[in-house]
Structure 1
């Protein structure tokens, strides 16, 4: 799995691609999140459009990220999941916990509204 991140207008955008199955990538992602939160980030947009597969460890990584942001008074939004990932989020009822949108502008509006 590969990931990139950048901050734009106060929102951390994390892009994931490949298979999110925990392993070392999960630890690396959490380290980046911790660093960004220490620098003051409280809003996170996670682009999962290029994510092919996610297992229970990968779900754990997403829940950890969500928890870290919400504990700081922030919010996280998942952007454009594939059909397979979307089905998994519905089956596990995580679609009730995560904000999931298909449009980046909608996600940015949702995140900014969450902290107003």
Structure 2
């Protein structure tokens, strides 16, 4: 999986590409929690190039969502499609997370 972070003030754009598994999820989680702890409150994930997400990837989304809410911020998912959309629906995370 490839990922990139673009930080502008308290806004962070995260782009994920490929398939996210446990090892990659831990790296992304740690980077984002560090950025949030430095003051970022609004996180936008672009998942348009993500073809698969496992439970550890879902855990990253939930953890980042909880941390941003604690900081009076928000997490937004964009480009959700295919298998990723199906997994979010099956886990009912589409009811919890903001998807555009």
Please show how residues 1-116 of structure 1 align to structure 2 within 5 Å. Answer: 1-8=1-8, 10-23=10-23, 25-101=24-100
Structure 1 residue ranges, 4+ long, deviating more than 4 angstroms after superposition: none
Give, in whole Å, the separation in 1 of the partners of 2:85 and 2:31. Answer: 25
Which 5+ residue runs of structure 2 have no aligned equivalent? none
Deviates more, 1:41-50 or 1:29-38: 29-38
Match of 1:114 in 2: none
Which 5+ residue runs of structure 1 have no aligned equivalent? 102-116
Give, in whole Å, the separation in 2 of the partners of 1:4 and 1:100. Answer: 19
Give, in whole Å, the separation in 1 of the partners of 2:61 and 2:16. Answer: 11
TM-score, L = length of structure 1: 0.79
Q: Which one has the largest radius of gyration?
A: 1
- Tell me the C-alpha RMSD between the 2 structures: 1.3
Bigger strand share: 2
CA contact (8 A) 1:46 1:78 kept: yes
